[in-house]
Chains A and B, each alone.
Chain A
Amino acid sequence: MLLVWLAEAVVFALIVAGILAERPLALAAAGVAIVVAGALLRFVAPLRSALVCAFALHPTAALLGGAALALVLPLALRSSPYWTFVATLALLYVTIGQGLNLQIGTAGVINLAGAAFAGLGGYSVGLLTVGAGWPSWLAVAAAPWVAVAVGALLFVPILKTRGHYLALVTIAFVFIFNILMNNLEFTGGPQGIKNIPTLRLGGYAFTARPTLGVVELPAHANFYYAALATAFLATGILRRLHDSWLGLALNTLRDDEIAARCCGVSIAREKLIAFSIGNFFIGLGGALYAVMVGFVSPPDFDFGYSLIMLSVIIIGGVDSIGGVVLGACLLVPLPERFRFLHEYRLLLYGLVIVVMLLFRPRGLWPAGIRRYR
């Protein structure tokens, strides 16, 4: 058990060091440390097997340790509101990724309109608060349902088309959503919706900087905790769903629709359930994003973001709950860390994705084989 916590603490220290290192020397030291740790894990077999064993033996302890470290992360990052913001964004991508993973990974319903459904959540919050005057917590609670309801428009194509054709339908949907948001008056046009009121619970504004005793946490810490709770809940719920009969049925119809039908799985019903649940979580992520940033605009939800969501689940591991968490926590902050590359950043990002797909096609944390109890 101690070994588990020790390992987690080392990983945590490495991450924080990697994030906060600013001077070239410190950055290089952090980089070398990470590479050394990775190499140790890769090439020293006893260490690896000891760790694997320890984690397998104490899953609860591992989870508790991870949760504790996630809770203290803002404390470690308190010198930098920027990195707290990025960490929060990564957690929102966990929520979104879990929803998308149920659709794409578990049910095989290809959805390249993730950005549009996140946008539906975000825009709903904007319209309900700024336009209709709702309190923001109520708007955040209602917004995911809008994503689910609008998603119903795609029910027919989802049942009628498959594979590449379905990919095209959802691509078309993202483009249509984006053009409409940009050109309609009531959505604020290209400027989007500004001054979305922040979350308030019992008079406590989430933008206030929380203090723990003497230590003041960075500005986005409240949202970090809200996003952490949401991501935790989403992961828990979707893990349960994945392991349930629904998940099994979805896996069956993903792998072979005809065989699934022969086993008594209702294709239409299961697909629509998976699609709607997925959209709920994607919309929730978008809604939280809107109250955190305080504005929404069309370029925030364009096709490019659909691709980032897709790469989160593919690089993490398709149909793998843990993979989504890992993918989001790597793919969101890493490109930010490499911002100093300027023009070369996107080029490198594309290359890395291609290389990863070629050498780890099943993702960093491949989905395990189902265990039946």
Chain B
Amino acid sequence: MPPLELLLQQTLNGVMLGVMYALIAVGFTLFFGVLDVIHFSHGDIFMLGAFVGLSTLLGLAVVGLRTPLLALPPAFAVAVLVTGLVGVGAERVCVKPLARSSPLMTLLATLSLGLVLRESVLIFYPRGADPKPFPQLLPAGGFEVGGVAVRYENLTILAIGFAAMIGVDLVIRRTRMGAAIRAVAQDPEAAQMMGVNLDRTVDATFFLGSGLAAVAGMLSGFYYGEIHFIMGITGGVIGFSAAAIGGLGNVYGAIVGGLLFGVLQTTAAALIPRGSEFRDVVAFAVVMLFLIFKPSGILGEKSVERV
């Protein structure tokens, strides 16, 4: 058993990882809520968000905006906006037209769309095959509490991540659009009869989810110091897994699922012998067990079948 400070450090590592997973998972769960589909290219949308953020930051640096306070807000705004619009585009092209046919269709279509996004970045981004350094704008330095290294950067990332989640929560619970999203999630036909514009609500949902993925992408860039065009593959699979163990359709479930997956991966690597080789086996096995024993997820509603 490793000493306590290492355990605490590992927990912090897991939470950092979990916050990014949670932000991706919320997107999956929102899309599932309104359209009953899994949008598999969401992982690559997350990657795209990171690249849009990077390009904006580089552009701002050319203009002379290099201080964090001046550069960060516009960079986040542009990344969220552009990625959100790409997300809406993906939905219009690939998800909505197929939403009524079997889930297999959307599955294959969105997986292929993810491939297209990934390959496009590889080919069309300048030297896209290489990992790209991400500007380090978050406060450097840190302190140690009882042997646990805490960096100001980590705290900032946690703050931004949780702020984004609270923001989404507020949008969903306090705004008209949020009410529409909840209504469509519950019963699209009834919502339409009550005057909810289905198309606009779906667009808004995809904008919201994709924007969150962009935030996750940028945070990942700040945390790891680099981004790479393949980061969306694992990001997508894990985001989906997190959303599923939390309960598809439930935003809080997705957050819990994301944090759980991050901590699970880290603990597996930290505690089990040869754990780092098998950490994803452990994580995915737990996902399978969850789906067997709690098929609707931790916070998912128990679905009652109606004939």
Binding site for B on A (CB under 8 A): 104, 110, 156-157, 160-161, 163-165, 167-169, 171-173, 175-176, 179-180, 183, 258-259, 307, 310-311, 314, 318, 343-344, 346-347, 349-351, 353-354, 357-358, 361
Contact = CB atoms under 8 A, between A and B. Distances in A.
Contacts of A157: 288, 291-292
B277 interface: yes
Given A168-B291, A311-B108, A347-B116, 14 more contacts: A157-B288, A157-B292, A161-B291, A167-B38, A171-B237, A172-B287, A173-B284, A179-B280, A314-B108, A318-B102, A343-B122, A353-B112, A354-B109, A358-B94
A373 B116 CA distance: 46
Interface residues of B, number: 43
A349 B97 CA distance: 20
Nearest to B111: A307
Contacts of A349: 112, 115
- 10 A-B pairs with least C-beta separation: A350-B115, A350-B116, A172-B284, A347-B119, A353-B112, A350-B112, A183-B277, A357-B109, A346-B119, A354-B112
Interface string B266-307: 000000001001101100110110011001000000000101
Which one of B101, B112, B113, B123 has the highest number of Cβ atoms from chain A below 10 Å of its Cβ?
B112
A17 B111 CA distance: 33
A347 B122 CA distance: 10
Contacts of B305: 258
Contacts of B105: 314, 357, 361
A169 B294 CA distance: 13
A81 B145 CA distance: 66
A361 B105 CA distance: 8
A349 B114 CA distance: 12
B120 interface: yes
Contacts of B164: none
The secondary-structure label for the interface of chain B is: helix
Interface stretch (B17-25, B54-62, B65-73, B240-248): B240-248
B225 interface: no
B217 to A, nearest CB: 20
B209 to A, nearest CB: 16
B120 A183 contact: no
A176 B284 contact: yes
B109 A165 contact: no
B108 A307 contact: yes
Interface string B195-217: 00000000000000000000000
A233 B104 CA distance: 27
A263 to B, nearest CB: 13
A76 B115 CA distance: 35
B241 A343 contact: no
